[in-house]
Protein backbone atom coordinates (compact mmCIF):
# COMPACT_ATOMS: atom_id res chain seq x y z
CA UNK A 1 0.00 0.00 0.00
CA UNK A 2 1.35 3.44 -0.89
CA UNK A 3 0.58 6.03 1.71
CA UNK A 4 0.91 9.73 1.95
CA UNK A 5 3.72 10.67 4.28
CA UNK A 6 4.45 13.96 5.90
CA UNK A 7 7.67 13.03 7.63
CA UNK A 8 10.79 11.62 6.06
CA UNK A 9 11.21 8.33 7.83
CA UNK A 10 14.75 7.60 6.74
CA UNK A 11 16.19 10.74 8.34
CA UNK A 12 14.53 10.11 11.69
CA UNK A 13 15.42 6.41 11.55
CA UNK A 14 19.09 7.23 10.98
CA UNK A 15 19.14 9.17 14.28
CA UNK A 16 17.82 6.28 16.39
CA UNK A 17 20.68 4.62 18.25
CA UNK A 18 21.17 0.87 18.08
CA UNK A 19 19.25 -1.01 20.77
CA UNK A 20 16.88 1.96 21.32
CA UNK A 21 13.43 0.51 22.03
CA UNK A 22 10.43 1.52 19.93
CA UNK A 23 7.16 0.37 21.40
CA UNK A 24 3.53 1.10 22.04
CA UNK A 25 1.74 1.34 25.38
CA UNK A 26 -1.76 0.52 26.64
CA UNK A 27 -3.63 -0.04 29.91
CA UNK A 28 -5.92 -2.86 31.00
CA UNK A 29 -9.00 -0.88 31.96
CA UNK A 30 -8.90 1.13 28.76
CA UNK A 31 -8.93 -1.85 26.39
CA UNK A 32 -9.89 -5.14 28.00
CA UNK A 33 -13.64 -4.92 28.60
CA UNK A 34 -14.94 -8.23 30.02
CA UNK A 35 -15.22 -6.57 33.40
CA UNK A 36 -17.26 -9.40 34.91
CA UNK A 37 -15.62 -12.27 33.04
CA UNK A 38 -13.11 -14.82 34.18
CA UNK A 39 -13.54 -14.04 37.87
CA UNK A 40 -12.42 -10.40 37.67
CA UNK A 41 -13.52 -8.27 40.61
CA UNK A 42 -14.73 -4.66 40.30
CA UNK A 43 -12.33 -1.75 40.52
CA UNK A 44 -12.81 1.78 41.74
CA UNK A 45 -13.23 2.76 38.09
CA UNK A 46 -16.09 0.28 37.64
CA UNK A 47 -17.94 2.15 40.38
CA UNK A 48 -16.90 5.64 39.29
CA UNK A 49 -18.27 5.26 35.74
CA UNK A 50 -21.74 4.70 37.22
CA UNK A 51 -21.80 8.21 38.68
CA UNK A 52 -24.06 10.41 36.55
CA UNK A 53 -21.99 12.84 34.52
CA UNK A 54 -18.67 11.24 35.44
CA UNK A 55 -17.93 10.01 31.90
CA UNK A 56 -18.48 11.98 28.75
CA UNK A 57 -21.68 10.92 26.97
CA UNK A 58 -22.19 8.34 29.72
CA UNK A 59 -19.86 5.96 27.87
CA UNK A 60 -19.32 2.51 29.38
CA UNK A 61 -15.99 0.66 29.63
CA UNK A 62 -17.82 -2.69 29.78
CA UNK A 63 -16.62 -3.73 26.32
CA UNK A 64 -14.01 -1.06 25.46
CA UNK A 65 -11.83 -2.72 22.77
CA UNK A 66 -12.91 -6.21 23.84
CA UNK A 67 -9.23 -6.97 24.03
CA UNK A 68 -9.84 -9.73 26.59
CA UNK A 69 -11.59 -11.71 23.84
CA UNK A 70 -9.52 -10.47 20.90
CA UNK A 71 -6.05 -11.05 22.21
CA UNK A 72 -4.73 -12.96 19.15
CA UNK A 73 -5.94 -10.26 16.76
CA UNK A 74 -4.34 -7.53 18.80
CA UNK A 75 -1.04 -9.33 19.16
CA UNK A 76 -1.08 -9.84 15.38
CA UNK A 77 -1.44 -6.06 14.98
CA UNK A 78 1.57 -5.57 17.25
CA UNK A 79 3.56 -8.15 15.34
CA UNK A 80 2.76 -6.61 12.00
CA UNK A 81 3.70 -3.22 13.38
CA UNK A 82 7.03 -4.74 14.34
CA UNK A 83 7.47 -3.02 17.71
CA UNK A 84 10.36 -4.10 19.89
CA UNK A 85 8.25 -3.93 23.01
CA UNK A 86 4.66 -3.67 24.22
CA UNK A 87 3.84 -1.90 27.47
CA UNK A 88 0.57 -3.20 28.91
CA UNK A 89 -0.89 -3.19 32.38
CA UNK A 90 -1.98 -6.06 34.56
CA UNK A 91 -5.40 -5.53 36.06
CA UNK A 92 -5.06 -5.89 39.82
CA UNK A 93 -8.77 -6.84 40.26
CA UNK A 94 -8.48 -9.44 37.50
CA UNK A 95 -5.53 -11.03 39.29
CA UNK A 96 -6.66 -10.50 42.87
CA UNK A 97 -10.38 -9.67 42.86
CA UNK A 98 -10.61 -8.57 46.48
CA UNK A 99 -7.30 -6.75 46.51
CA UNK A 100 -6.13 -9.22 49.14
CA UNK A 101 -6.13 -12.95 49.60
CA UNK A 102 -6.44 -15.54 46.87
CA UNK A 103 -5.38 -14.92 43.30
CA UNK A 104 -7.68 -15.63 40.38
CA UNK A 105 -6.27 -18.34 38.14
CA UNK A 106 -8.28 -17.29 35.08
CA UNK A 107 -6.88 -13.77 35.40
CA UNK A 108 -3.33 -15.03 35.66
CA UNK A 109 -3.95 -17.35 32.70
CA UNK A 110 -5.08 -14.43 30.56
CA UNK A 111 -1.81 -12.56 31.13
CA UNK A 112 0.14 -15.78 30.63
CA UNK A 113 -1.42 -16.01 27.17
CA UNK A 114 -0.64 -12.36 26.47
CA UNK A 115 2.98 -12.64 27.57
CA UNK A 116 3.58 -15.91 25.78
CA UNK A 117 2.07 -14.68 22.54
CA UNK A 118 4.15 -11.50 22.70
CA UNK A 119 7.30 -13.53 23.19
CA UNK A 120 6.32 -15.84 20.32
CA UNK A 121 5.91 -12.70 18.17
CA UNK A 122 9.37 -11.46 19.15
CA UNK A 123 7.99 -8.61 21.28
CA UNK A 124 9.43 -7.76 24.67
CA UNK A 125 6.81 -7.43 27.44
CA UNK A 126 6.88 -4.37 29.70
CA UNK A 127 4.24 -4.90 32.41
CA UNK A 128 2.75 -2.10 34.51
CA UNK A 129 1.36 -3.41 37.78
CA UNK A 130 -0.99 -0.50 38.45
CA UNK A 131 -2.60 1.68 35.84
CA UNK A 132 -5.34 3.14 38.04
CA UNK A 133 -7.69 0.17 38.59
CA UNK A 134 -7.68 -0.23 42.38
CA UNK A 135 -9.75 -3.23 43.54
CA UNK A 136 -13.07 -1.85 44.80
CA UNK A 137 -12.91 -3.47 48.27
CA UNK A 138 -9.68 -1.55 48.87
CA UNK A 139 -11.24 1.65 47.58
CA UNK A 140 -14.06 1.15 50.06
CA UNK A 141 -11.48 1.14 52.83
CA UNK A 142 -10.07 4.48 51.72
CA UNK A 143 -8.04 3.44 48.70
CA UNK A 144 -4.77 5.36 48.52
CA UNK A 145 -5.71 7.44 51.56
CA UNK A 146 -5.22 4.25 53.54
CA UNK A 147 -1.67 3.17 54.19
CA UNK A 148 -2.84 -0.44 54.18
CA UNK A 149 -3.38 -0.25 50.39
CA UNK A 150 0.39 0.07 49.94
CA UNK A 151 0.91 -3.21 51.78
CA UNK A 152 -1.78 -4.91 49.74
CA UNK A 153 -0.04 -3.68 46.61
CA UNK A 154 3.19 -5.28 47.78
CA UNK A 155 1.44 -8.65 48.13
CA UNK A 156 -0.11 -8.31 44.67
CA UNK A 157 3.26 -7.35 43.18
CA UNK A 158 4.77 -10.48 44.68
CA UNK A 159 2.05 -12.68 43.19
CA UNK A 160 2.51 -11.11 39.75
CA UNK A 161 6.29 -11.34 39.99
CA UNK A 162 6.19 -14.98 41.04
CA UNK A 163 3.97 -15.89 38.11
CA UNK A 164 5.37 -13.76 35.28
CA UNK A 165 8.83 -12.86 36.54
CA UNK A 166 10.60 -15.37 34.32
CA UNK A 167 9.25 -13.75 31.12
CA UNK A 168 8.60 -10.04 31.67
CA UNK A 169 11.57 -7.90 30.60
CA UNK A 170 10.54 -4.77 32.42
CA UNK A 171 8.26 -3.96 35.30
CA UNK A 172 6.62 -0.62 35.94
CA UNK A 173 5.23 -0.50 39.47
CA UNK A 174 2.84 2.47 39.13
CA UNK A 175 1.64 4.60 36.28
CA UNK A 176 1.53 8.30 37.11
CA UNK A 177 0.82 8.53 40.85
CA UNK A 178 0.31 12.25 40.17
CA UNK A 179 -2.76 11.63 38.03
CA UNK A 180 -4.35 9.36 40.63
CA UNK A 181 -3.67 11.79 43.48
CA UNK A 182 -4.74 14.90 41.56
CA UNK A 183 -7.58 13.69 39.36
CA UNK A 184 -8.86 10.93 41.61
CA UNK A 185 -8.46 12.26 45.15
CA UNK A 186 -7.90 16.03 44.95
CA UNK A 187 -10.33 17.01 42.22
CA UNK A 188 -12.69 14.07 41.77
CA UNK A 189 -12.67 13.91 37.98
CA UNK A 190 -11.29 10.35 37.95
CA UNK A 191 -11.96 7.38 40.23
CA UNK A 192 -12.58 7.32 43.12
CA UNK A 193 -14.11 10.77 42.58
CA UNK A 194 -12.95 12.38 45.82
CA UNK A 195 -12.50 16.16 45.78
CA UNK A 196 -10.26 16.64 48.81
CA UNK A 197 -7.88 19.24 47.40
CA UNK A 198 -4.81 19.37 49.66
CA UNK A 199 -6.20 16.71 51.98
CA UNK A 200 -5.52 14.30 49.11
CA UNK A 201 -1.79 14.58 49.64
CA UNK A 202 -1.45 11.36 51.69
CA UNK A 203 -2.55 9.54 48.53
CA UNK A 204 0.81 10.52 47.07
CA UNK A 205 2.78 9.11 49.98
CA UNK A 206 0.87 5.84 50.08
CA UNK A 207 1.31 5.30 46.35
CA UNK A 208 5.02 5.94 46.63
CA UNK A 209 5.19 3.56 49.57
CA UNK A 210 3.38 1.01 47.39
CA UNK A 211 6.01 1.59 44.72
CA UNK A 212 8.80 0.85 47.19
CA UNK A 213 7.08 -2.22 48.59
CA UNK A 214 6.34 -3.33 45.04
CA UNK A 215 10.00 -3.09 44.05
CA UNK A 216 10.98 -5.09 47.13
CA UNK A 217 8.32 -7.70 46.38
CA UNK A 218 9.39 -8.10 42.76
CA UNK A 219 12.98 -8.53 43.85
CA UNK A 220 11.91 -11.05 46.50
CA UNK A 221 10.09 -12.93 43.72
CA UNK A 222 13.41 -13.01 41.81
CA UNK A 223 12.07 -11.45 38.63
CA UNK A 224 14.59 -11.46 35.82
CA UNK A 225 13.44 -8.15 34.32
CA UNK A 226 14.34 -4.57 35.17
CA UNK A 227 12.17 -2.55 37.55
CA UNK A 228 11.11 1.09 37.42
CA UNK A 229 8.10 3.34 37.74
CA UNK A 230 6.39 5.80 35.42
CA UNK A 231 5.85 9.41 36.33
CA UNK A 232 4.07 12.13 34.45
CA UNK A 233 6.24 15.18 33.97
CA UNK A 234 5.51 18.58 32.53
CA UNK A 235 7.75 21.61 32.41
CA UNK A 236 6.03 24.41 34.32
CA UNK A 237 6.37 27.99 33.15
CA UNK A 238 5.16 31.20 34.82
CA UNK A 239 2.78 33.21 32.62
CA UNK A 240 4.81 36.34 33.34
CA UNK A 241 7.95 37.30 35.13
CA UNK A 242 6.11 38.74 38.12
CA UNK A 243 7.04 37.42 41.55
CA UNK A 244 3.51 36.10 42.05
CA UNK A 245 3.49 34.08 38.83
CA UNK A 246 6.97 32.74 39.48
CA UNK A 247 5.87 31.66 42.95
CA UNK A 248 2.88 29.81 41.52
CA UNK A 249 5.09 28.13 38.92
CA UNK A 250 7.45 27.01 41.66
CA UNK A 251 4.63 25.57 43.77
CA UNK A 252 3.04 23.91 40.77
CA UNK A 253 6.34 22.36 39.78
CA UNK A 254 6.71 20.90 43.26
CA UNK A 255 3.18 19.50 43.17
CA UNK A 256 3.33 18.13 39.64
CA UNK A 257 6.90 17.00 39.25
CA UNK A 258 9.07 16.87 42.31
CA UNK A 259 6.69 15.30 44.84
CA UNK A 260 6.91 12.03 42.91
CA UNK A 261 10.46 12.01 41.62
CA UNK A 262 12.40 13.40 44.61
CA UNK A 263 11.40 10.71 47.14
CA UNK A 264 11.91 7.91 44.62
CA UNK A 265 15.25 9.12 43.30
CA UNK A 266 16.65 11.08 46.25
CA UNK A 267 14.88 9.57 49.26
CA UNK A 268 13.29 12.82 50.46
CA UNK A 269 10.33 15.04 49.75
CA UNK A 270 10.94 18.55 48.47
CA UNK A 271 10.48 21.31 51.05
CA UNK A 272 6.94 22.57 50.70
CA UNK A 273 5.65 26.02 51.57
CA UNK A 274 3.02 26.63 54.21
CA UNK A 275 0.10 26.33 51.80
CA UNK A 276 0.50 22.61 52.14
CA UNK A 277 -0.58 22.47 55.80
CA UNK A 278 -2.61 19.28 55.42
CA UNK A 279 0.44 17.66 53.89
CA UNK A 280 2.59 18.80 56.76
CA UNK A 281 0.14 17.18 59.16
CA UNK A 282 0.21 13.96 57.19
CA UNK A 283 3.95 14.21 57.04
CA UNK A 284 4.16 13.76 60.76
CA UNK A 285 3.33 10.14 60.10
CA UNK A 286 6.02 9.71 57.45
CA UNK A 287 8.98 7.90 58.89
CA UNK A 288 12.57 7.65 57.73
CA UNK A 289 11.88 3.97 57.19
CA UNK A 290 9.10 4.90 54.73
CA UNK A 291 11.50 7.08 52.78
CA UNK A 292 14.05 4.32 52.68
CA UNK A 293 11.40 1.96 51.34
CA UNK A 294 10.41 4.46 48.66
CA UNK A 295 14.02 5.11 47.70
CA UNK A 296 14.80 1.78 46.05
CA UNK A 297 17.50 1.38 43.43
CA UNK A 298 15.78 1.30 40.04
CA UNK A 299 16.81 -0.14 36.70
CA UNK A 300 15.02 2.56 34.74
CA UNK A 301 12.81 5.62 35.10
CA UNK A 302 9.63 5.90 33.02
CA UNK A 303 8.63 9.34 31.75
CA UNK A 304 5.21 10.16 30.33
CA UNK A 305 5.22 13.46 28.49
CA UNK A 306 2.23 15.04 26.78
CA UNK A 307 2.30 18.84 27.18
CA UNK A 308 3.88 21.76 29.01
CA UNK A 309 1.97 23.81 31.56
CA UNK A 310 1.93 27.59 32.00
CA UNK A 311 0.49 29.02 35.22
CA UNK A 312 -0.56 32.37 36.63
CA UNK A 313 -1.79 33.64 39.99
CA UNK A 314 -5.57 34.18 40.23
CA UNK A 315 -8.60 31.97 39.69
CA UNK A 316 -9.37 30.66 36.22
CA UNK A 317 -12.72 30.27 34.58
CA UNK A 318 -14.68 27.03 35.04
CA UNK A 319 -13.26 24.49 32.60
CA UNK A 320 -14.84 21.48 30.93
CA UNK A 321 -15.18 18.59 33.34
CA UNK A 322 -13.02 16.28 31.25
CA UNK A 323 -10.30 18.86 30.96
CA UNK A 324 -7.36 17.63 33.00
CA UNK A 325 -7.07 21.11 34.46
CA UNK A 326 -10.73 21.43 35.36
CA UNK A 327 -9.93 21.04 39.02
CA UNK A 328 -7.59 23.96 39.01
CA UNK A 329 -10.52 26.31 38.57
CA UNK A 330 -11.20 25.85 42.29
CA UNK A 331 -7.73 27.01 43.23
CA UNK A 332 -6.33 30.52 43.55
CA UNK A 333 -4.15 30.01 40.47
CA UNK A 334 -4.83 28.88 36.93
CA UNK A 335 -3.29 27.42 33.80
CA UNK A 336 -2.84 29.71 30.84
CA UNK A 337 -3.04 28.95 27.11
CA UNK A 338 -0.22 28.82 24.64
CA UNK A 339 -1.96 30.70 21.79
CA UNK A 340 1.06 30.30 19.52
CA UNK A 341 0.99 26.50 19.67
CA UNK A 342 -1.16 23.96 17.81
CA UNK A 343 -3.47 21.84 19.96
CA UNK A 344 -4.52 18.22 20.06
CA UNK A 345 -8.13 17.05 20.18
CA UNK A 346 -7.99 17.32 23.97
CA UNK A 347 -6.88 20.95 23.59
CA UNK A 348 -3.39 20.11 24.82
CA UNK A 349 -0.62 22.34 23.43
CA UNK A 350 1.73 20.59 21.02
CA UNK A 351 5.24 21.36 22.25
CA UNK A 352 7.86 18.79 21.27
CA UNK A 353 10.77 20.96 22.42
CA UNK A 354 9.47 20.84 25.96
CA UNK A 355 10.08 17.11 26.00
CA UNK A 356 13.78 17.98 25.73
CA UNK A 357 13.27 20.51 28.53
CA UNK A 358 11.80 17.82 30.79
CA UNK A 359 14.68 15.47 30.07
CA UNK A 360 17.13 18.28 30.84
CA UNK A 361 15.34 19.04 34.11
CA UNK A 362 15.53 15.40 35.15
CA UNK A 363 19.27 15.40 34.49
CA UNK A 364 19.84 18.67 36.31
CA UNK A 365 17.74 17.70 39.31
CA UNK A 366 18.80 14.11 39.77
CA UNK A 367 22.21 13.78 38.13
CA UNK A 368 23.76 10.40 38.81
CA UNK A 369 20.63 9.35 40.73
CA UNK A 370 18.67 9.27 37.47
CA UNK A 371 18.62 5.76 36.04
CA UNK A 372 18.29 5.07 32.29
CA UNK A 373 15.09 6.66 31.02
CA UNK A 374 12.32 5.27 28.85
CA UNK A 375 9.64 7.58 27.56
CA UNK A 376 6.85 5.21 28.49
CA UNK A 377 4.08 7.28 26.88
CA UNK A 378 3.67 10.02 24.33
CA UNK A 379 0.95 10.59 21.77
CA UNK A 380 -2.04 12.68 20.78
CA UNK A 381 -5.77 12.50 20.15
CA UNK A 382 -7.37 14.24 17.18
CA UNK A 383 -11.01 14.46 16.12
CA UNK A 384 -11.64 11.35 14.03
CA UNK A 385 -14.78 9.60 12.75
CA UNK A 386 -16.41 6.71 14.58
CA UNK A 387 -16.15 4.44 11.56
CA UNK A 388 -13.79 4.33 8.60
CA UNK A 389 -13.50 2.31 5.40
CA UNK A 390 -9.81 2.97 4.71
CA UNK A 391 -6.72 3.95 6.71
CA UNK A 392 -7.27 7.37 8.26
CA UNK A 393 -4.97 10.07 6.98
CA UNK A 394 -3.77 11.16 10.43
CA UNK A 395 -0.86 13.31 9.29
CA UNK A 396 -1.03 15.37 12.49
CA UNK A 397 -0.37 12.31 14.61
CA UNK A 398 2.59 11.28 12.45
CA UNK A 399 4.00 14.76 12.76
CA UNK A 400 3.40 14.81 16.50
CA UNK A 401 5.21 11.52 17.01
CA UNK A 402 8.06 12.34 14.65
CA UNK A 403 8.61 15.73 16.29
CA UNK A 404 8.52 14.37 19.84
CA UNK A 405 10.80 11.45 19.16
CA UNK A 406 13.10 13.75 17.19
CA UNK A 407 13.14 16.28 20.00
CA UNK A 408 13.98 13.64 22.60
CA UNK A 409 16.82 12.24 20.47
CA UNK A 410 18.23 15.72 19.83
CA UNK A 411 18.01 16.61 23.51
CA UNK A 412 20.14 13.68 24.66
CA UNK A 413 22.63 13.89 21.77
CA UNK A 414 26.03 15.59 22.28
CA UNK A 415 25.42 19.31 22.78
CA UNK A 416 21.70 18.76 23.41
CA UNK A 417 19.78 20.24 26.33
CA UNK A 418 19.68 16.87 28.06
CA UNK A 419 23.05 15.52 27.02
CA UNK A 420 24.07 12.76 29.36
CA UNK A 421 20.60 11.32 29.92
CA UNK A 422 20.68 7.64 29.04
CA UNK A 423 17.49 7.53 26.94
CA UNK A 424 16.62 3.96 26.04
CA UNK A 425 13.27 4.05 24.27
CA UNK A 426 9.99 5.64 23.28
CA UNK A 427 6.54 4.08 23.63
CA UNK A 428 3.71 5.58 21.61
CA UNK A 429 0.44 6.08 23.45
CA UNK A 430 -1.34 4.03 22.16
CA UNK A 431 -1.82 0.95 19.98
CA UNK A 432 -5.54 1.45 19.40
CA UNK A 433 -8.31 3.91 20.20
CA UNK A 434 -9.74 3.05 23.60
CA UNK A 435 -11.68 4.11 26.67
CA UNK A 436 -10.10 7.45 27.46
CA UNK A 437 -11.11 7.63 31.14
CA UNK A 438 -13.49 10.54 31.88
CA UNK A 439 -13.54 11.44 28.17
CA UNK A 440 -15.09 8.08 27.30
CA UNK A 441 -14.60 7.30 23.62
CA UNK A 442 -14.35 10.93 22.50
CA UNK A 443 -10.55 11.11 22.34
CA UNK A 444 -8.84 8.78 19.89
CA UNK A 445 -5.11 8.33 20.55
CA UNK A 446 -4.58 5.08 18.63
CA UNK A 447 -2.31 4.12 15.77
CA UNK A 448 -5.20 1.78 14.98
CA UNK A 449 -8.76 3.03 14.57
CA UNK A 450 -11.38 1.10 16.51
CA UNK A 451 -15.02 1.18 15.48
CA UNK A 452 -16.67 0.67 18.85
CA UNK A 453 -19.95 -0.46 17.26
CA UNK A 454 -18.36 -3.36 15.37
CA UNK A 455 -14.92 -3.72 17.04
CA UNK A 456 -13.34 -3.44 13.58
CA UNK A 457 -9.68 -2.47 13.85
CA UNK A 458 -8.31 -0.40 10.95
CA UNK A 459 -4.70 0.74 11.12
CA UNK A 460 -4.30 4.47 10.50
CA UNK A 461 -1.58 5.93 8.32
CA UNK A 462 0.40 6.65 11.47
CA UNK A 463 0.55 2.89 12.06
CA UNK A 464 2.18 2.36 8.66
CA UNK A 465 4.44 5.34 9.25
CA UNK A 466 5.60 3.92 12.59
CA UNK A 467 6.07 0.50 10.97
CA UNK A 468 8.27 2.08 8.30
CA UNK A 469 10.28 3.88 10.94
CA UNK A 470 10.82 0.65 12.87
CA UNK A 471 11.88 -1.17 9.72
CA UNK A 472 14.13 1.62 8.44
CA UNK A 473 16.45 1.66 11.44
CA UNK A 474 20.02 0.54 11.12
CA UNK A 475 20.15 -3.16 11.91
Distance CA 18, CA 98 (A): 44
Listed ranges 57-65, 174-182, 195-203, 274-282: which one lies at the site for ligand BGC (CB under 6 A):
174-182
The nearer residue to ligand BGC, 293 or 462, going by C-beta atoms, is: 462
Residue of closest CB approach to ligand BGC = 27
3-state secondary structure the chain: CCCCCCCCHHHHHHCCCCCCEEEEECCHHHHCCCCCCCCCCCEHHHHHCCCCCCCHHHCCCCCCCCCCCCHHHHHHHHHHHCCCEEEEECCHHHHCCCCCCCCCHHHHHHHHHHHHHHHHCCCEEEEEEECCCCEHHHHHCCHHHCCHHHHHHHHHHHHHHHHHCCCCCEEEEEECHHHHHHHHHHCCCCCCCCCCHHHHCHHHHHHHHHHHHHHHHHHHCCCCCEEEEEEECCCEEECCCCHHHHHHHHHHHHHHHHHHHHHHHHCCCCCCCHHHHHHHHHHCCCCHHHHHHHCCCCCEEEEECCCCEEEEECCCCCCCCCCCCHHHHHCCEEEECCCCCCECCCCCECCCHHHHHHHHHHHHHHHHHCCCEEEEECCCCCCCCCCCCCCCCCHHHHHHHHHHHHHHHHHHCCCCCCCCCCEEEEEEECCECCCCHHHCCCCCCCCEEEECCCCEEEECHHHHHHHHHHHHCCC
9 or 236, CB closer to ligand BGC? Answer: 236
Of 219-238, binders to ligand BGC (CB under 6 A) are: 232
Q: From CA 89, how far away is CA 138, in angstroms rounded?
A: 19
What are the Cα distances from residue 240, in Å, to 11, 318, 343?
A: 38, 22, 21
Interactions with ligand BGC, residue window 445-464 (CB under 6 A): 445
CB nearer to ligand BGC: give 87 or 473: 87
Q: Counting Cβ atoms within 10 Å, is residue 280 exposed (0-12), middle (13-18) or buried (19+)?
A: middle
Contact flag: residue 27 with ligand BGC (CB under 6 A): yes
Task: Report, in Å, the least distance between residue 436 CB and ligand BGC.
Answer: 5
Cβ proximity to ligand BGC, 206 vs 233, nearer residue: 233
Question: By CB under 6 A, is residue 175 in contact with ligand BGC?
Answer: yes
Total residues binding ligand BGC (CB under 6 A): 10
Q: Are 333 and 325 a contacting pair, CB within 8 Å?
A: no
Is 396 labeled as catalytic in the residue annotation?
A: no
By beta-carbon proximity to ligand BGC, the closer residue of 370 and 432 is: 432
Catalytic residue among 377, 384, 396, 419: 377
Residues in the chain: 475
Told to check if 344 binds ligand BGC by CB under 6 A, we report no
Candidate segments 151-159, 171-179, 208-216, 274-282, binder of ligand BGC by CB under 6 A? 171-179
**Of the candidates 66, 74, 84, 176, which one interacts with ligand BGC according to CB under 6 A?**
176
Annotated binding site for substrate: 30, 131, 175, 306, 429, 436-437
| 170 in contact with ligand BGC (CB under 6 A) | no
CB of 306 to ligand BGC, least distance (A): 6
Binding-site entries: 30, 131, 175, 306, 429, 436-437
To the nearest 10°, report the CA torsion of 64, 67, 73, 74: 90
Does position 173 bind ligand BGC by CB under 6 A? no
Residue 303 binds ligand BGC (CB under 6 A): no
Q: Is the Cβ of residue 293 or residue 434 nearer to ligand BGC in the bound state?
A: 434
Task: Provide, rounded to whole angstroms, the least separation between the CB of residue 144 and ligand BGC.
Answer: 16
Within residues 92-111, the interface with ligand BGC by CB under 6 A covers: none
- Is 377 annotated in the active site? yes
Identify residues 407-446 at the interface with ligand BGC (CB under 6 A): 429, 436, 445
Q: How far is the CB of 13 from ligand BGC (least distance, A)?
A: 26
Taking the complex as a whole, the smallest distance from the CB of residue 427 to ligand BGC amounts, in Å, to 11
Closer Cβ to ligand BGC, 88 or 153, answer by number:
88
Task: Name the minimum Å distance from CB 49 to ligand BGC.
Answer: 15
Q: What is the contact mask toward ligand BGC in residues 262 to 301, using x (rule: CB under 6 A)? A: ----------------------------------------
The pairing of beta strand 124-130 with beta strand 85-89:
parallel
Restricted to residues 345-384, the positions that interact with ligand BGC (CB under 6 A) are: 377
Q: Contacting ligand BGC (CB under 6 A), which of 6, 79, 179, 216?
A: 179
50, 176, 340, 419: which is the annotated catalytic residue? 176
Is 304 one of the binding residues for ligand BGC (CB under 6 A)? Answer: yes
| Cα–Cα distance for residue pair 170/408, rounded to 1 Å | 21
Q: Which is nearer to ligand BGC, 178 or 417 (CB)?
A: 178
Q: Which stretch binds ligand BGC (CB under 6 A): 69-77, 172-180, 356-364, 458-466?
A: 172-180
Do residues 94 and 156 touch, judged by C-beta distance below 8 A? no
Q: Known catalytic residues?
A: 176, 377
Residues that bind ligand BGC (CB under 6 A): 27, 175-176, 179, 232, 304, 377, 429, 436, 445
Amino acid sequence: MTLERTTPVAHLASRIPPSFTLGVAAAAFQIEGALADGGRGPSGWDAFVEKPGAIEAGASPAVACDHYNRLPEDVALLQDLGVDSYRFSLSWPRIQPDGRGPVNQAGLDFYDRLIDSLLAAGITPMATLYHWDTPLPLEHRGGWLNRETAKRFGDYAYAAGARFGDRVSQWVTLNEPLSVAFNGYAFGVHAPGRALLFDALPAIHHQLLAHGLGVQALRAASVVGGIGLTNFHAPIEPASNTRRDRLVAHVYDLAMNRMYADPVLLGRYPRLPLWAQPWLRAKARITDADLQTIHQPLDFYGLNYYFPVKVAMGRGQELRRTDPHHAMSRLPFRTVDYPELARTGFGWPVAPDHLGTVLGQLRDRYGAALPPVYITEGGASFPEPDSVSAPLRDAERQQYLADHLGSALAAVAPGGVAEGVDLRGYYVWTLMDNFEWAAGYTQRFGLVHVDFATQARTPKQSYYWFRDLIRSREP
